[in-house]
Amino acid sequence: MEQLMKDFFLFLSQNKTLTKAAKKWGLRFGAQRFVAGELTDDAVRVIRELNKQGLVVTIDYLGEFVETEQEANEKTEHSIATLEAIGREKLNSQLSLKMTSMGMDISDEVIMRNMRRILDTAKKYNIFVTIDMEDYSRYHKTLEIFKKLKSEYDNVGTVLQAYLYSVADDIQELNAYSPNLRLVKGAYKESPEVAFPEKKDVDENYKKIIKIHLLNGNYTAIASHDEAIIEYTKKLAEEHNIPKSQFEFQMLYGIRSDRHLELVKEGYTFRVYVPYGNDWYGYFMRRLAERPANVWFVLKGMFK
């Protein structure tokens, strides 16, 4: 039953008609639990409060699958405005983005121009930018663009997904770039031809890539709500004398908030992934797919 619900929500997450309709509904039906708000001012308020608690942040202006160059340019302008707000307010926050929202599916010229504009602005304010990984059809292109940008900028990283068979080899190849990577399990529905279908295999591969990347000496963000993964990382760091300054834990805004603060008290860097914007639908559906128990919070939100 849980797998059926997961597949159902992943299917819904890719429905463009529902995505457009959701923009008109606003942040209703429980989405407020996972999304900071629709406006930059909402994001600034949430970041400031999290910073006061000793938490650092990565902010994501939600959006993906733009269809025109104008839309891509508008998303780029909003990312730039977000960076300027972070710099102006002196917030401890990075920026995360999806390159499909910046024009990756439109042309190489559009995506490279927009990414360079974003990274130039981020460099001005000493802000790090993470390129979120998307579905497998865009995986290799994302890595190609990341390599090009990493050769030009120090303030850019990307994300690798543990459910992919090739990810361990890809990490070793990227080692030449000394990359700052966010490692995740993966949140898209992928074919068993490219991804592990069983959770236990994903978990084992996740541990494997965490160990590879940390022992390579690179900065590692472990983005997981799984307590077993968190404890594995702690023990690995202790066994190999890996300093706490070489890695951080990350979780999504609105999930396990008490645990965020506990890890900070233990001396670990903890980063909260905070999304905002009116293009919240795809993100929200993937959060429901990751943990169908979240549906209960949505139902409560609807009746309230």
Instruction: Give the residue numbers marked as catalytic.
Output: 132, 182
Measure Cα distances from 63 to 71, 74, 90, 137 in Å: 10, 11, 25, 18
Residue in 82, 93, 78 with CA at minimum distance from that of residue 126? 93
CB of 30 within 8 A of CB of 301?
A: yes
The residue type at 182 = R
Measure Cα distances from 167 to 120, 176, 212 in Å: 29, 15, 11
